[in-house]
Chains A and B, each alone.
Chain A
Amino acid sequence: MKKIIRLILAVLIILVAYLLQSTLFQKFTFLSVAPNLLLIVTFCFGFIKGKHYGVYVGFLCGMLIDLMHGDVIGFQTLIYMYIGYMNGYFNKLFFDEDITLPLVLLILSDFLYSMYYYVFAFLLHNRLDIQYYFIHIMMPELFFTVLITVFLYRPLLWINRKFDSMEEGGTK
């Protein structure tokens, strides 16, 4: 039962993140590059809940993007999954109130994602001008993603804590 509720909640969060990113965030014309909400979700699940969640959520997020937008199914799924998994490693270092480590991890994750995407989707098509993509795509995305996370991280933590305590109350 708990697992089902957790699953539903996770799917819901992923869906909301995806919908927001694919619709509303595209409409904010002042954001030339939208923040990567799905990456934030994957990261948060991995970092806060551990490797299992990281892998599952990353897989779902990536699969959603691949199915809806990608040409090659599995291409983005792989990187999301690995990001979720790797952040799961740092779950041991997770403390509620610390925000520095998650931000550093998030920056690394986003950078990794950007580089992965660039190398496989652009570099292999002979798009060699990495400087341009770095300045115009990667950096803004990184910036907005971090910015959003700064505001989103604590509410997410709060939801998680509430859920945990509720779950424990339910088991008892």
Chain B
Amino acid sequence: MKNRSHVRIPAKIILILLTVVCLVCVVMSIANPSFGSGARNTAASVIVPMQRGLNTVGSFFTTKAKDRQKLRELQKENKELTEQLNSLNEEISSLIQERDELTRYRQLLDLDGSYADYTKIAACVISGDPSNWNDVFVIDKGSDDGIAVDMNVIGAGENGGGLVGIVYYVGKNYAKVRSIVNDDSNVSAMIAGNSEKCIVDGDLKLINDNQLNLIQLDQAAEVKEGDMIVTSNISNKFLPNLLIGYVTDIETDANQLTQSGHIRPVVDFKHLNEVLVITQLKYTGNEEEEK
């Protein structure tokens, strides 16, 4: 560096010169705003295209960076939302289950109210008969809870509740119930309005249609579709006036002495979950004598 210094004008001189130039420029441009516009334009014509290019590059990268940031944010949000959705779905399904349960309990409560005279024990259906031939089921209450054979079982349906069946076997903590749709079930019944006696007969062929046979109704009895069928007062096992179902069709038998038809039970036997067991047994003279 020193070998070149002899060629150089001292920095101080240059500084002073340039300072004077600057000051002149300052004074000139204050006095005349358009001063140096030529120089400005020349500089701008060189610089501006470069700036424009760099800006394009810069905005490309900032856009990229922003996009990536946004992507990350969105992914995070998506994850959170998915989790939220899952937990909400779980909540919804459990709520739906609870709602269904509530509906059933309400129906049961209504049923309880409509047969208020009897004391009842609520029980849950815990299993059905494994074979396809019988419509019997097991409830979770047994002799420990006061269940006894021949107790009537009622259940709730969509439009009111009615007779489900009868307890035919009692264990310590469970009991078996034969439903009235079972093929060997015969219930002594009557038409609610005029007390005409008949038999409600379970039929395997009709189980899937959710129907029961109505037989041995007197030819003279006045009956029409929609009539209410209840358990009769002369039944020896069933308490009187428990709702069974409604007549769907009726016709006179070939013997011209009786009428028969079908009834639709009020209870939905396919979807029984909770039932009520009436602890009161039907009082009959015979039983009294036996005892």
- Contacts across chains A and B counted by CB atoms under 8 Å: 87
B11 touches A23 (CB 8 A): no
Q: A23 to B62, alpha carbons, bound, how many Å?
A: 12
A95 to chain B, nearest CB (A): 15
B181 to chain A, nearest CB (A): 76
Q: Which of B26, B47, B62 contacts A72 (CB 8 A)?
A: B26
A34 to chain B, nearest CB (A): 13
B58 touches A24 (CB 8 A): yes
A67 touches B50 (CB 8 A): no
B19 touches A78 (CB 8 A): yes
Kindly list chain A residues whose C-beta atoms are within 8 Å of the C-beta of B26.
72-75, 78
A53 to chain B, nearest CB (A): 9
A52 touches B11 (CB 8 A): yes
B59 touches A67 (CB 8 A): no
Given A52-B8, A73-B39, A77-B22: A68 in contact with B47 (beta carbons within 8 A)? yes
A102 at interface by CB-CB < 8 Å: no
Kindly list chain A residues whose C-beta atoms are within 8 Å of the C-beta of B93.
none
Q: A88 to B12, alpha carbons, bound, how many Å?
A: 11
| B interface residues, tally (CB under 8 Å) | 32
Q: A23 to B50, alpha carbons, bound, how many Å?
A: 10
Q: Which of B16-32 touch A at CB < 8 Å?
A: 18-19, 21-26, 28-30
Q: A73 to B21, alpha carbons, bound, how many Å?
A: 10
B47 touches A24 (CB 8 A): no
Most buried by A among B1, B15, B43: B15
B51 at interface by CB-CB < 8 Å: yes
Chain B residues within CB distance 8 Å of chain A: 1, 8, 11-12, 14-15, 18-19, 21-26, 28-30, 33, 35-36, 39-40, 43-44, 47, 50-51, 54-55, 58-59, 62
Chain A residues within CB distance 8 Å of chain B: 15, 18-20, 22-24, 27-28, 50-52, 54-56, 59, 62, 64, 66-68, 71-75, 77-78, 81-82, 85, 88
* A-B residue pairs in contact (CB < 8 Å), sample of 9: A19-B47, A19-B51, A19-B54, A23-B55, A50-B11, A71-B29, A73-B28, A73-B36, A77-B22
Contacts A74-B25, A75-B26, A85-B15 aside, 18 further interface pairs with beta carbons under 8 A come to A15-B50, A18-B47, A22-B51, A24-B54, A27-B59, A27-B62, A50-B1, A51-B11, A51-B12, A55-B11, A55-B15, A68-B44, A72-B26, A73-B28, A74-B23, A78-B22, A81-B22, A82-B15
